[in-house]
Structure 1
Amino acid sequence: MTPMKEDYLKIIFELGGTKEKVSNKRIALSLNIAAGSVTEMINKLLSEGLVEHEPYAGVSLTAAGIKKAEILIQKHRIWEVFLVKELNYSIADVNDEAELLEHVTSDRLLDALDKKLGHPSRCPHGGVIPRANGNYKEDSHTLLSDVSDGDTVVVDRFIDNHELLTYLGDIQLDIGDKLKIIKHAPFEGPVMVKNITDKQNITVSYKASHYVFIKYVK
C-alpha cells in the first residue's frame, strides 16, 4: 500500500469514518489537497474494499479499512509519544518523523515501545491510540467550527499537522483548554473564543477551527 493511500485511511479514521460518513471536502481540507484528487483516491480505496461511498454523503471505512487504519495509527502515535517523551521533540515536529518510522516498525518493536512508554492511551496532540484487540475509547469528532455561539467546550485533540500545531502554539491554544464560544464571523471568518483556562480572548482561523476537536462541558 502506498503512503498516500495510508494517509487517506488515517485521516478518514481521524475524522470519524469508522461510524459516520466523511465528506470529500473535509478530507481535502484536512490533507490540504484538491477535491479532485480526493475523488480519484477514494475510487481506488473503493476498488480495494477499504471504504464505502454514499453519493452526496461521503465515505466511511469498511471493517478491513478500519483494521488497517488502526494498525497504522497505533504505530504512528506510539512513535509520536516516544519522540516527545524520550527525545524532547516539540509536538509540531513529530509527524514527519513518525510517518517514516511507522513503516519500518515490526509488531515486536511496537510492543516493546508500548511497554517502555507505559501503554499510553493518547498521543501528544490528543488522539486516542488504537489497540489490536479493539478495546479503546474512540476520539471526539465534534469540530470547533460546528459549536454554537455561547457554548462552553473543552479542547480534546488536534489533527496532526505541522502548520496547524505551530499556529495553535502561537495563539496559545492547548489540549484541555476550556473555551466559551463568543462568535463565528460570517463568510468563513474566524471563530472568536474566550479561553477560560488562560483567561484571554483569542481568535481561531476558519481553517484551524476545522482541525480542532472538542468535547462539551457536562
Structure 2
Amino acid sequence: MAEAPLTATAQDYVKIVWSATEWSDAPVTTKALAERLGVSAPTVSENVRKLVAAGLLDHEPYGAITLTAEGERRALDMVRRHRLIETFLVTQLGYGWDEVHDEAEVLEHACSSRMIDAIDSLLGHPTRDPHGDPIPSATGRIVTLDGTNLTDAVPGAWTVARLSDADPAVLRDLASLGLTVDASIRVHGPDPSGGILVETDEAARIVVPPSTASAVWLVTQGS
C-alpha cells in the first residue's frame, strides 16, 4: 500500500525543524518557526499540535519542538528532494547557485518520488548540493558535516565546506569574494573593521563582513 502523502504544510514544518538543527544547537521554538515561515505564532501552535497528533513532532509545553523518528524520516525525504532539485537546476538547466532555492521550495512538493529517483540516477547519485549541503540517500542516510563557522574559525588553513543559501544576495557576494564550495582559504583572524581577514586561492586578502562570514562553514584542510 502506498504511503499517505503529507500536506505541503506538514512537509514544510518537518523539513524546517530538521534544517534548523542541522547547523545549530539552538532549540526550535514556536517563535522561531513563526519567524522562519512568516506566519503568526498561533498558526504555528495549531499546526504543531496537529503534527504532534499525527506522530511527526514532539512538543512539551514551553519546550523545544523536535521530530519523532517518523517525522525525521519524512523530513529527510524533503531535504533530499530539495537538494537534488537544486543540483539538477544548476548542473542540467544552467541556473545560478543563487537562483535555485526558491524554485526548489516549490518543486519539492510537486515532484513524484519516481521523478526524484530519476533525477538522482541521472546526476549519478550526488552526495552534496551546489551549496555543499549533504544530500540524504533514498534510504534516509546522510553524512553530516562537522563544520566550523567562519566567524569562529581560528587562524590557519581551511576548506570551504558549505554555504548557506538562505539569502541569494549573500551567495553572490561570496562568489565575488572567491568563497565558493571546496575553495582553499587561510583565515588570518578578526580585522579592525569588525570583519574576518581571509586569504583566498588567488593570494588575495579580503575582509569578509560578519553578516557574510556567518553564511560560511569550513573544515580543516585534508578532512
TM-score range, shorter chain: 0.7 to 0.9
| Distance in 2 separating the partners of 1:9 and 1:146 | 29
| Distance in 2 separating the partners of 1:54 and 1:190 | 40
TM-score by length of 2: 0.75
The structure-2 alpha-carbon separation of the partners of 1:105 and 1:142, relative to structure 1 and needing over 3 Å to count, comes to same
TM-score by length of 1: 0.77
The alignment of Structure 1 onto Structure 2 pairs a total of residues equal to 211
How much has 1:63 moved relative to structure 2?
2.4
The structure-2 alpha-carbon separation of the partners of 1:171 and 1:60, relative to structure 1 and needing over 3 Å to count, comes to farther
- For the pair shown, which has the larger CA radius of gyration, 1 or 2? 2
Conserved? CA contact 2:77–2:140, under 8 Å? no
Note if 1:215 corresponds to 2:199: no
State the match for 1:206 in structure 2: 210
| Distance in 2 separating the partners of 1:203 and 1:38 | 38
Note if 1:93 corresponds to 2:99: yes
Which structure is richer in relative contact order (CA contacts within 8 A, separation 6 or more)? Answer: 1
Percent identity of paired positions between Structure 1 and Structure 2: 31
| Distance in 2 separating the partners of 1:44 and 1:22 | 22
Note if 1:172 corresponds to 2:171: no
How does 1:102-181 map onto structure 2 within 5 Å? 102-148=108-154, 150-161=155-166, 162-181=168-187
- The AA in structure 2 aligned to 1:89 is Y
How much has 1:70 moved relative to structure 2?
0.8
- Cα offsets for 1:138-176 (capped at 9, x unmatched): 13442111212x232211011123122111112221111
How much has 1:61 moved relative to structure 2?
3.9
The structure-2 alpha-carbon separation of the partners of 1:38 and 1:153, relative to structure 1 and needing over 3 Å to count, comes to farther
| Distance in 1 separating the partners of 2:65 and 2:191 | 29
Conserved? CA contact 2:28–2:66, under 8 Å? no
Conserved? CA contact 1:17–1:60, under 8 Å? no
Which piece of structure 1 moves more, 202-211 or 121-130? 202-211
RMSD: 3.7
The structure-2 alpha-carbon separation of the partners of 1:61 and 1:217, relative to structure 1 and needing over 3 Å to count, comes to farther
State the match for 1:183 in structure 2: 189
